[in-house]
């Protein structure tokens, strides 16, 4: 039976790569051809590439699949991409569910590599595309800013709790104040670097000026959303973006049993975190969001649900403004146009350079 394509599953660790190459034939049967291990270095990548070419004897498509393991997979993905190879990077939980679905009870690197190879052979997966250097640096800065902010909050809480200690802990307080002061300086420095990274990029700066017209969306919100989504490069629809960020709703219903529906939260937590404060602000300053928040609050009677709905709507608006590369018009400037939050007026048929539509 003739083979259709070769699939290479790569289990990535810090120092080692576990590889499995499989082939799928016309009857959809997946056959393991070989397995091997290589070092997670440039030399190991060259050996892996040569090993794959030896085992892929026919001139058939070869597709590589690996998990996103921190940053340890990035050099290999870039190396294969530079060789014009078809590469896919998936989230670990997706691979885990697939391997569990195969009925495999044990787990090790070799089993994971075989599972990835089989998954790659059976499914048509989207190809990986490297993030731009500027957005990569921006993502690194925003994540570091988030980590330092969380750490500073923890230190500040600890300092405040010492005011209620049985004894006066002067030395401990002095050390904590010194640490907090140092972290404040570093956070301010990172914020200036983030601002600089946006200003030196003409496209990013232009889009930021348009998106920041939404009252409540600031520099950090824009930087996090854009860098975490790679400028919405791989998103073609709002449902994809909603699922990626974990704002999608999970239903629990079977027959006559109807469980509670809830937000999945299985997505990019950095985006959800950074949209919390903008959602609170946009409800105060933008009439459409205020009305939307009130409507959801009346229906659910839960404040946080209403604010989460505002977060999702705000993310969709940022996505639309980015994709259409257009200005945001406030409620005062366009009382007749409420496309995002209501029906499109029949008289509004002419296209506009400004938009609020999703």
Q: Is residue 357 part of a domain?
A: no
Tell me the three state secondary structure of residue 227: helix
Q: Do 67 and 98 reside in the same domain of the chain?
A: yes
Predicted local distance difference test score (pLDDT) of residue 327: 86
Q: Return the sign of the alpha-carbon dihedral for residues 169, 172, 176, 177.
A: positive
**Does the residue 350 lie in any domain?**
no
Query: Cα–Cα distance between 239 and 128 in angstroms, integer?
Result: 20
Distance between CA atoms of residues 336 and 333, nearest Å: 9
Q: Same domain, yes or no, for 14 and 114?
A: yes
Q: Return the pLDDT at 328.
A: 84
Q: Are 214 and 328 in contact (CB under 8 A)?
A: yes
Q: Which domain holds residue 54?
A: 3-122
Q: Indicate whether 157 and 74 sit together in one domain.
A: no
Provide the H-helix boundaries in the chain: 42-55, 74-82, 92-101, 109-122, 133-161, 170-199, 202-211, 219-228, 238-245, 269-274, 276-285, 287-300, 303-324
**CB-based contacts of 285, cutoff 8 Å, min separation 6:** 215, 216
The answer to whether position 212 is within a domain reads no
Is residue 353, in this structure, part of any structural domain at all? no
Same domain as 292, residue 250: yes
Looking at the structure, tell me whether residues 186 and 246 fall in a common domain: no
Q: Which pLDDT value is given to residue 72?
A: 92
To 5 degrees, how large is the angle CA 352–CA 354–CA 355? 95
Last residue of a domain, one of 200, 235, 252: 200
Which residues lie closer than 8 Å to 25 by C-beta, 6 or more apart?
A: 1, 2, 3, 4, 31
Residues in contact with 338: Cβ distance below 8 Å, sequence separation at least 6, in sequence order = 288, 345, 356
* 117 plus 7 within the same structural domain: yes
pLDDT tens across the length of the chain (358 residues) = 788 999 999 999 999 999 999 999 988 899 999 999 999 999 999 999 999 999 988 889 999 999 988 889 999 999 999 999 999 998 888 888 898 898 887 888 899 999 999 999 999 998 998 888 899 999 999 999 999 999 999 999 999 999 999 998 999 999 999 999 999 999 999 999 999 999 999 999 999 999 999 999 999 999 999 999 989 987 889 998 999 999 988 877 777 777 777 888 888 999 999 999 999 999 999 988 999 999 999 999 999 999 999 999 999 999 999 999 888 874 444 444 454 555 444 444 444 444 543 4
How many domains is the chain built from?
3
94, 122, 150 - which closes a domain: 122
In a domain, 333, yes or no: no
* Per-residue pLDDT at 131: 87
Q: Whole-model pTM?
A: 0.80
Q: Does residue 349 belong to any structural domain of this protein?
A: no
- Same domain membership, residue 94 and residue 148: no
Is the residue at 177 inside a domain? yes
CATH number at residue 92: 3.30.420.40
Whether residue 340 lies inside any domain: the answer is no
pLDDT of residue 236: 85
């Amino acid at each position: 039976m003739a083979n259709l394509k070769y699939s290479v599953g790569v289990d990535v660790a810090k120092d080692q790569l576990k590889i499995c190459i499989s082939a799928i034939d016309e009857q959809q049967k997946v056959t393991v051809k070989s397995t091997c291990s290589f070092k997670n270095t440039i030399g190991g990548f060259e050996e892996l590439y040569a090993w794959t070419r030896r085992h892929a004897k026919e001139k058939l498509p070869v597709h590589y699949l690996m998990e996103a393991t921190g940053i340890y997979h990035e050099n290999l993905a870039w190396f294969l991409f530079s060789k014009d190879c078809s590469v896919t990077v998936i989230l670990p939980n997706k691979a885990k569910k697939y391997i569990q679905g195969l009925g495999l009870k044990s787990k090790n690197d070799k089993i994971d590599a075989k599972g990835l190879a089989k998954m790659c052979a059976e499914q048509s997966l989207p190809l990986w595309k490297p993030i731009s250097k500027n957005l990569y640096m921006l993502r690194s800065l925003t994540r570091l800013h988030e980590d330092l902010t969380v750490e500073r909050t923890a230190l500040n809480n600890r300092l405040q709790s010492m005011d209620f200690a049985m004894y006066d802990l002067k030395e401990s307080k002095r050390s904590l104040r010194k640490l907090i002061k140092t972290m404040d300086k570093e956070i301010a420095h990172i914020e200036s670097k983030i601002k600089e990274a946006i200003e030196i990029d003409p496209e990013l700066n232009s889009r930021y000026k348009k998106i920041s017209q939404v009252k409540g969306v600031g520099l950090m919100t824009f930087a996090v959303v854009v860098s975490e989504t790679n400028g919405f490069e791989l998103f073609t629809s709002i449902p994809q973006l909603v699922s990626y960020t974990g704002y999608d709703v999970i239903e629990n219903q079977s027959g006559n049993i109807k469980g509670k529906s809830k937000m999945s939260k299985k997505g990019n937590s950095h985006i959800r975190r950074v949209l919390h404060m903008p959602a609170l602000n946009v409800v105060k300053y933008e009439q459409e969001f205020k009305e939307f928040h009130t409507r959801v609050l009346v229906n659910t009677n839960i404040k946080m649900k209403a604010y989460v709905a505002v977060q999702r709507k705000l993310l969709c608006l940022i996505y639309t403004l980015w994709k259409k590369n257009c200005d945001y018009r406030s409620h005062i400037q366009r009382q007749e146009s409420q496309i995002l939050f209501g029906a499109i007026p029949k008289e509004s048929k002419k296209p506009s350079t400004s938009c609020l539509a999703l």
